[in-house]
Chain A
Amino acid sequence: DAGVIQSPRHEVTEMGQEVTLRCKPISGHDYLFWYRQTMMRGLELLIYFNNNVPIDDSGMPEDRFSAKMPNASFSTLKIQPSEPRDSAVYFCASLNSEALTNEQFFGPGTRLTVL
């Protein structure tokens, strides 16, 4: 398996623009997570899905952020409009709750820079 796939790997945009980050989880995994990592705040859980249904979005910073999972193999995290303080590395992770280790597999991340 190719692991969790994220695109793009790097994104540079200007303040006010819409940004869409994409994630393909590992096939067969029933949980999907979106995290954000910055030097100041560390690694923060934004939202997670179970079987394509959002379970907890309490970590989503504000209404400018939205996440969807239209099917088991694809999820998006959208920021509209983007602001410089959104600059961070965004990670997607997936998990198979049937596995003994209950292990989250992380993607390589998308480094977002908002100018």
Chain B
Amino acid sequence: DAKTTQPNSMESNEEEPVHLPCNHSTISGTDYIHWYRQLPSQGPEYVIHGLTSNVNNRMASLAIAEDRKSSTLILHRATLRDAAVYYCILRNDYGQNFVFGPGTRLSVLP
């Protein structure tokens, strides 16, 4: 399975944008890039996903590098409720195997 690399932790101030990076240099052409987050004491929840083009939804934006070897999850205005562990995951179009790495623990400071 293709692997992802994320920073262990990041900090942000409330109301400021946050850019969470993910490296996936061994990504294959059929791998989708998924982002999930896990709030304290909860199960993970879906944030966004993409294949090649940048994606936007109500929660976040996903910027995918042209060579697809990296991507960035963008939270446009961080709130205290965005404090969570963010996971970047690759999913092959042929299956549903999700390999969760350690993710990035985001702290949001008031």
Main SS class of interface, B:
loop
Contact present for A107 and B43 (CB under 8 Å): yes
The residues in A between 7 and 51 inclusive whose CB is less than 8 angstroms from any CB of B are: 31, 33, 35, 42-45, 48, 50
Q: How far is it, in angstroms, between the C-alpha of A101 and the C-alpha of B49 when the chains are bound? A: 7
Contact present for B98 and A45 (CB under 8 Å): yes
Q: How far is it, in angstroms, between the C-alpha of A18 and the C-alpha of B46 when the chains are bound? A: 33
Q: How many residues of B contact A (CB 8 A)?
A: 21
Main SS class of interface, A:
strand
B44 within 8 A of partner (CB): yes
Contact present for A42 and B96 (CB under 8 Å): no
The residues in B between 47 and 98 inclusive whose CB is less than 8 angstroms from any CB of A are: 49, 87, 91, 95-98
Q: How far is it, in angstroms, between the C-alpha of A48 and the C-alpha of B44 when the chains are bound? A: 16
Q: How far is it, in angstroms, between the C-alpha of A30 and the C-alpha of B85 when the chains are bound? A: 27
Q: Which 3 pairs between the two chains have the least Cβ-Cβ distance?
A: A106-B43, A43-B100, A103-B46
In the complex, besides A42-B100, A102-B34, A107-B43, 8 extra interface pairs with C-beta distance below 8 angstroms are: A44-B100, A45-B97, A50-B96, A55-B95, A91-B44, A93-B44, A105-B46, A108-B42
Q: List chain B positions with a Cβ less than 8 A from chain A.
A: 32, 34, 36, 38, 42-46, 49, 87, 91, 95-103
Can you list 8 A-B pairs with a CB-CB distance of less than 8 A? A33-B98, A44-B100, A91-B43, A91-B44, A102-B34, A103-B49, A104-B46, A108-B43
